[in-house]
Structure 1
Amino acid sequence: MGDVLPGGPGDGSVRGGVWSDLSGAARDVVQAGHVHGGVHFHSPAPVSAEVPVPRQLPGDVSGFVGRAAELAQLDELLPEDGGGPEGVVSVVVIAGTAGVGKTSLAVHLAHRISGRFPHGQLFVNLRGYDTGPPLAPAAVLERFLRALGVPGPAVPSGLEERAELYRSLLADKRVLVVLDNAATVGQVRPLLPGTTGCLTLVTSRHRLSGLAVRDGARRITLGMLSEQESAELITAATRGYRTGDDPGQIAELAQLCARLPLALRIAAERAATHPLFALPELAAQLRDESTLWEALSSPDEEEADAVRTVFAWSYRTLPPPAARLFRLLGLHPGPDISVHAAAALTEQEPRQTHSLLDLLAGAHLIESIGADRYQFHDLLRAYATDQAHQEETLEGQHAAFHRLASWYLYTADAACAAAQTFDPSILPSEQTGPAPVMAFGGQQEAFAWHQSEQANLLAVARTAAQAGLEEIAWQLPAALHGIHMARSVFDDWKAMADIGLEAARRLGDQRAQALMHNTLGIANKDSGQLVRATEHHQAALDLRTRIDDHAGMAESANGLALVHLGRRELDASRTRLEQALALYQQYGPHHWTGVVLCNLGFTAADLGELHQAAHFTRQALTVYRETGADHSLRIDALRLLARLARETGQYAQAEEHLADAFSLQEHSSFVTIDAALRLEQATLLNAQNRHEQAVEAYWVCERLQRSIGNRTGQALAYDGIGQTLRALGRLTEAIDFHTTAARILRDQNQPWGLANALAHLADVCTADEQSEHACQHRAEALVLLDGFTDPPAAALRQRLQELTTG
């Protein structure tokens, strides 16, 4: 979808608002159902906002045995009262060689002590030893902040700002954080909470001494399991499958596995699935296994050889289809894989693939992590990748990854089609995709798929670019544009578009380059980076002008106009929109004409040209009806007509427009639309002197704006509540709400909105006989208005000057 998500500037929309920072007010209301025209609410009842409690721990380790000494040591470090032998411990590092069971111990411990952390548990695999790049702290913080209730648009863009917000959210809370597979101190430190009420468990193959020196971390180092613990693990894993095994033979098998839990579990599973094989026979097979694997790195070569041997021993006994699937899974660049993606990788039916994946999971060569999803231990991933390199030709490897990348591309295209109907597919109609591409029942299913595949999609795009699949590298972010915009996943949105832009440059494809610049322009505008947004939209316009892409030129002009609108540069916005309109009217597509007409309506309304705004908006509605445009676009136009009717005193007409908009809203799931409608509805109720209902409607708006991270929209709701409370004579409360609105708008660098909020605050201060404060607020508002030359700004400036000198 292009830069057309519904809404006007500053009202909770992507069109002109700037989203950043975290919502501040912790208030909530009972939300009304669908609203048609007027609305009747229960009495206002703001309460504390409900903060989500993350529960991210993986399931506890099945059949966990051993590690009694280490658990006792951890119990001593982490007593229930929080005070260990040397005071409160807030960071614990579990270090040890690969495959020694660090993750199993950390997860088992986390489940044992999770009750001490009522505010939740966060878990992430930092992938420090994966074949791909380790997970960056900024990406982890984006995940954690979302899990803690921060909407995507409210997640700050910088690492430092994210870390500060993360620490602020965890202050005075008791949260357990598990950071698995950390490679460096630098990967961990930004993820540490700032208070002692939280506990962070870190697993790593390295000692991470810097955490002990600077952050007071305590470290325990895992060695191999003892002989007795190793025997207990094998016995527990084979119980019910084997009987009468000699303890000495069990000990010999354990010794051949170097007493490493990962190798022991694989060997035990082999023994369990071959109950008629005597243990000496299995041990002899292990000794005879001669395949050596050089990819594994271990400080102890004997341990490394043991792990290589166990992996190879288990792999060689797989049926050929399962063995092929195992090694091809090593070519998947993401952290996990679905059944359908695995089926595309191997050109098999999903049902058959599912059976083979379950077989691999049963052999402990992969791990099931949820419904139809699987992941590797990092050692096994590296082994699988190595086997693919050894046993598959280069052509075969390339073909397998191409099938996988194509499957992601076409499934992403199908997901975007289910999420919106405005933009057509970017894939050529004659281009056929792989089977089977998933089908989606609607927007929510598409969003859920994207959320589960988000990390994989970025990894596939990056690997496609590295593999020379340049077209897929730019088509994939292009196909995901609408979902990225709707879900506000700015990090991945920008990262994928950057990859796509470089791929398009290598291809010399100027049309594709312009498309990537366009999506980067919208991503930067929506995340508040207006300078970068201007640069990308201008670059797209230059490219499109060079290749005579008139519809693209119009789209870029529209994008630049919306950046101007966000800055309240209204004349510049109108000029760009007129350029876009002329191009669309001449070259099409026709439905985009409606978008530009509606944007012209918003610009004219902000200029105070209400008659002209209504003319543009009615024209837009006509185009939308003719082209069967998304309901969201029609709602946007109806909301603007309601605003224009309200501002000209035609309250009954405004109610009719809102009723029509709410009726269409039943078919749309964009919260931004609902929030903008509620704001207009509340403003109308206030204008009609229906103050109690107006306050309730403003609260509903505030709740919705907070849920999407629109701080500017929240501020407008607070400002509206302040105006309504002033009309009710509740001046002290009104001052509080206007003050809160002004603080937010100041933080958001919204000078026009701030000038209005300060003017309202000054009016209430005057009514409350606080003339000195009123003068201060008007003086600040006048300074802010210096940058605006439009008629409404001039009228507000004149009113404030008259009140200041009067």
Structure 2
Amino acid sequence: MRGFVSRTAELARLDHVLLAAGPTGPALVVGTAGVGKTALALRWAHRVAARFPDGQLYVNLRGYDPGAPMTADQALDRFLRALSVPPARIPDDVEDKAALYRSLLAGRRVLVVLDNAAHIGQVRPLLPGGPACRTIVTSRDRLEGVMARDGAQRVTVEVLPEADAITLIRALTTDYRTADEPGERAELARLCARLPLALRIAAERAASRPWMPLAELIGNLRDESRLWDELGSGGEHDGVRAVFALSYRSFSAEAAHMFRVLGLHPSAEFGTHVAAEAAGVPVAAARQLLDAVVGAHMLEQIGADRYQFHDLLRAYATDVAHQDEPPLPRDDARARILAWYLHTAHTVGTVMRTWGRILEPDALPAPAAVPRFPDHDAAVEWCYLEGQNLFAAIQAADESGRDTLTWQLAVATEPAMRGMPSDDRRAAITMALAAARRDGARQGEGELLAKLAEIERTKGQFDEAATCAEEALAIFRELDDRHGVRITLNFLGVSLLHRRKFAEAAERFESLWALQRAEEDLEGETAALFNLAEAYDGIRRHHDAVDAARHSVELARALGNRHFELVGLVILARATANLADAGELGVALADAARGVELARELRDTRTEGWALLDYGRIQRLAGRYDDALVSYRRALERFSNTSVSQRRAWSLDGLGTTCREAGRIEEAVSIHRQAVEVARAAEAPRVLGLILSNLADSLTVAGEDREAGSVRQEAASLLELLDDPEATERLEQVRRALP
């Protein structure tokens, strides 16, 4: 790291704390803002990289940023992605995320750097727990709780000693200036409060003006310091702000304007395109202006076309935006930023769309240039980069009282937020729903209620989901919005499928299919057909299920909708296999295989796992036990977190049943016991009852008749509470096997 000086004692302290043999608590690096905590942590991490062959994880928790700090939930989301967990496999609940994170790090040698933590709640869920991992936490706070409960050891970072501060100035200017007097460097260091952040900015100004006597720079800095003494509140950062001000006033008018409008961005990290829009300049010009700000150490470039502010510098940029930017231009710049997110998110949502509609936003005019996304993967990558900024943009619009913009942003960005923590999604939609109601925007209210219903359904809150959907349906009927009515009716039908009310679902989808045909909505017709096929299959109308599913596949192919095609193929394969015709199993195998292949092509991991469960079952029915074991194991990998624990239980159950039928009885019993544990933890009585009956069958084959009888009694007590066909049939089988 260029210009890093001294800190020998602090580095040695980190060695002592973190390189000790055996488990050790985190190192807590504390000190005032701008003192170099992050630089120290990263310097040490670079020095010891070879000791952590499994990698390093870094996150800026932004605990002292003027905006909202990063939550542990959001940080875990980032870490899991960095650990190659596909978005579809990331749990919704923060505790489940933490459990998956720790399981992935168990046995690995990874260094975790938690930068700029403000409170213990940000830190504790991110501690890896594994004995081979090490953690550095940086904070302005002493975080006593981390020391008391997690065994952290403190490393305090003070301002640089005068000699080291002078050495840093000399290191950063020596290639440009040779005539500076030691006494002048010492005075400059004093005026910078010997803080590395301020020293770097002042040294960069001196280096960029080699003809300017250092005494002149010092005089200018004294003048700025007096001004801040007069205007400031006497806070600990007033002297540092004088350094910022001197550098800011040295910018060209265009660079100063860029710096100011970046202070209006709703978060600390952003990309080149939105910076260009904020400043009202072309992207190429924006890159040049950003380079000027980065060159002055007033902004950090963290990747290709990605930048972030130090929290003190962001606060300063926001201050000068309010001081130096007239109100109308300031509001215009903020509006351009939000308009860029609104219209870019709308473009992304259009690319990611599988069914339904995307409302055209009109709360703000479209920006001069909206990025284009060549394919689905490019759109997903943008969502990953900008997800938190989208949430911040919705908050900023809401705080500014722009109700129309708030709800339109939420509607436009909801597809992009699907990979975000569900609590953030729910918070954004709830905030926007209130804005739509204040705005009297019934269309927006209906759209947001429908989206909230989907969020509740994915979390298993079926009653809450149904309530939201019914409210949305009433609004769409009031507006004579037939498309909204049809989509919401489809959602309510799917909710019936999830609750295994197949007969009611079949009636709902028969009516909906007719309605979609009458409206000539081919996508809606396709969805109604594969959902109808699933309902038919659930009530044992397998021939009708095959016909409906086959028709849905034909329509999906005609539309070029690969997601709909894969869903239709999997349900078609399931229904074909359920016909109990051995001659049809080959057809079912081919359809299921193609469904799995399509899920992989779409990089839809969770849907791939769902398809693999059916594929494994059909392979087992065909006697292809080795292939079935491979499919069930792959499904188990796709469901390796607790947010999909029911499907994890089904994956284990399929493995156990396949082992039993293949004659591997001990394995079957062991795996079925694991499946029971997962189902019991998931608090899913139906799943538990069915899996208990399969464990009992494996125990019987293993000769464990007494335990098998006890297990069947528990299975029967659960299954008799259910009324769906599969549970009823299995209950009869269990009762026949009881003594």
Contact 1:138 1:159 in 2 (8 A): yes
Q: 1:103 to 1:293 in 2, by over 3 A?
A: farther
Q: 2:20 aligns with which of 81, 103, 122?
A: 81
1:342 aligns with 2:275: yes
Determine the structure 2 residue equivalent to 1:387: 320
Name the amino acid aligned to 2:488: S
Give, in whole Å, the separation in 1 of the partners of 2:595 and 2:102. 41
The answer to whether residue 2 in structure 2 is matched with residue 62 in structure 1 is: yes
1:295 and 1:566 mapped to 2: Cα distance? 63
- Partner of residue 263, structure 2: 330
The code of the aligned residue for 1:514 comes to: G
Q: Shift of residue 732 of structure 1?
A: 1.1
The 2-side partners of 1:699 and 1:553 are apart by: 40
Q: Is the 8 A contact 1:94 1:102 kept in 2?
A: yes
AA of the residue aligned to 1:64: F
Residue number in structure 2 paired with 1:272: 207
Q: Helix, strand or coil for the counterpart of 1:90?
A: coil
Matches within 5 A, 1:495-534: 495-534=427-466
Q: Which residue of 2 aligns with 1:57?
A: none
* 1:659-674 superposed matches below 5 A: 661=595, 668-674=602-608
| Mapping of residues 607-626 of structure 1, within 5 Å | 607-625=539-557
Alignment-derived partner of residue 563 in structure 2: 632
Describe the shift of the 1:298–1:185 C-alpha distance in structure 2 as closer, same or farther (beyond 3 A). farther
How far did 1:167 drift? 5.2
What's the CA shift for 1:347?
Answer: 1.4
Q: Deviations for 1:192-250, whole angstroms, at most 9, x for unmatched residues?
A: 44566544323222333444444443334333211110111011111221223222221
1:782 maps to 2:685: no
Q: Which residue of 2 aligns with 1:221?
A: 156
Deviation at 1:518, TM superposition (A): 1.1
The answer on whether the counterparts of 2:570 and 2:614 sit within 8 Å (CA) in structure 1 is yes
The amino acid across from 1:752 in the alignment is R
Opposite residue 181 of structure 2, the aligned amino acid is D
2:375 to 423, 439, 442: 442
Cα deviation, 1:453-472, whole Å, max 9, x if unaligned, reads 11111111110111123233
Shift of 1:611: 2.1
| 1:135-146 equivalence runs, <5 A | 135-146=70-81
> Cα offset for 1:478?
1.9
Matches within 5 A, 1:183-582: 183-194=118-129, 198-289=133-224, 291-292=227-228, 300=236, 304-427=237-360, 433-485=366-418, 487=419, 489-578=421-510, 580-581=512-513
Please identify, of 502-511 and 536-545, the stretch whose mean Cα deviation from structure 2 is larger.
536-545
Q: Which runs of 4+ in 1 moved over 6 A?
A: 293-298
Deviates more, 1:530-539 or 1:186-195: 186-195
SS at match of 2:738: helix
Contact 2:344 2:371 in 1 (8 A): yes
Contact 2:147 2:153 in 1 (8 A): yes
**2:576 matched residue in structure 1:** 645
- What do the CA deviations read for 1:685-715 (whole angstroms, capped 9, x no partner)? 2222232333333334433444997443343
* Paired AA for residue 596 in structure 1: A
Separation of aligned partners in 1, 2:141 and 2:495:
48
Identify if the C-alpha distance between structure 1 residues 550 and 608 changes in structure 2 by more than 3 Å, giving closer, same or farther: same
Query: What does the per-residue CA deviation read over 1:629-665, in whole Å, with 9 as the maximum and x for residues that have no partner?
Result: 5111122212222222222212243245346646766
How big is the shift at 1:623? 4.0
CA contact (8 A) 1:296 1:379 kept: no
Q: Distance in 2 between matches of 1:656 and 1:142?
A: 36
Alpha-carbon spacing, 1:297–1:122, altered in 2? closer, same or farther (3 Å): farther
Is the contact made by 1:150 and 1:709 (CA closer than 8 Å) also made in structure 2?
A: no
Report 1 or 2 for greater relative contact order, CA contacts < 8 Å, sequence distance ≥ 6: 1
Q: 1:207 to 1:685 in 2, by over 3 A?
A: closer
Whole-Å Cα distance in 1 between the matches of residues 107 and 612 of structure 2?
Answer: 34
1:90-129 C-alpha deviation (Å, 9 max, x unpaired)? 1333332222222222222233344444444332222222
Q: Which has the higher helix share?
A: 2
Aligned to 2:698, what secondary structure does the other structure show?
helix
Tell me how far apart the structure 1 counterparts of residues 208 and 65 of structure 2 sit (CA, whole Å). Answer: 29
Letter in 2 for 1:260: L
Give per-residue Cα distances to partners, 1:346-400, cap 9 Å, x unaligned: 1111111011101110100101111111111111111111111011122222211
Partner of 1:422, secondary structure, is coil
Distance 1:380 1:584 in 2: 56
Q: How far, CA to CA, are the matches of 2:577 and 2:612 in structure 1?
A: 14
Q: Which residue, 178, 182, 185 being the options, matches 2:113?
A: 178
Question: Which residue identity lines up with residue 70 of structure 1 in the other structure?
Answer: E
> For structure 1, which segment, 253-262 or 119-128, has the greater mean C-alpha deviation from structure 2 after superposition?
119-128
Contact 2:169 2:199 in 1 (8 A): yes
Distance in 2 (alpha carbons) for counterparts of 1:194 and 1:661: 39
> 2: distance between equivalents of 1:373 and 1:221?
31
Matched letter for residue 638 of structure 1: L
Q: Which amino acid aligns with 2:528?
A: V
CA 1:157–1:685 in 2, change beyond 3 Å: closer, same or farther? closer
Amino acid at match of 1:784: L
Using the size of structure 1 for normalisation, the TM-score is: 0.84
Residues 580 and 224 of structure 1: CA distance in aligned 2, closer, same or farther (over 3 Å): same
Cα distance in 1, alignment partners of residues 620 and 449 from structure 2: 43
Bigger mean CA deviation after superposition, 411-420 or 204-213:
204-213
Question: Structure 2: which amino acid aligns with 1:401?
Answer: R
Residue 134, structure 1, aligned to residue 65, structure 2: no
| Maintained 8 Å contact 2:26/2:152 | yes
- Paired position in structure 1 for 2:680: 746
TM-score under structure 2 length normalisation = 0.92
- Using the TM superposition, name which of 129-138 and 312-321 deviates more: 129-138
Look up the SS of the partner of 1:749 in the other structure.
coil
- Tell me if the contact between 1:96 and 1:223 (Cα under 8 Å) persists in the aligned partners: yes
Task: Select between 516-525 and 359-368 the one with higher mean Cα deviation.
Answer: 516-525
Q: Which residue of 2 aligns with 1:767?
A: 701
What is the alpha-carbon distance in structure 2 between the residues aligned to residue 694 and residue 74 of structure 1? Answer: 51
Asked if structure 2 preserves the Cα contact closer than 8 Å seen for 1:333 and 1:459, the reply is: yes
Q: Evaluate the alpha carbon distance shift between residue 281 and residue 678 of structure 1 in structure 2; reply closer, same or farther with a 3 A threshold.
A: same
Question: d(CA) in 1 for partners of 2:358 and 2:399?
Answer: 25
> Aligned equivalents of 2:264 and 2:232: distance in 1?
17
Q: Aligned partners of 1:198 and 1:297: how far apart in 2?
A: 43
Show the counterpart of 2:732: 798
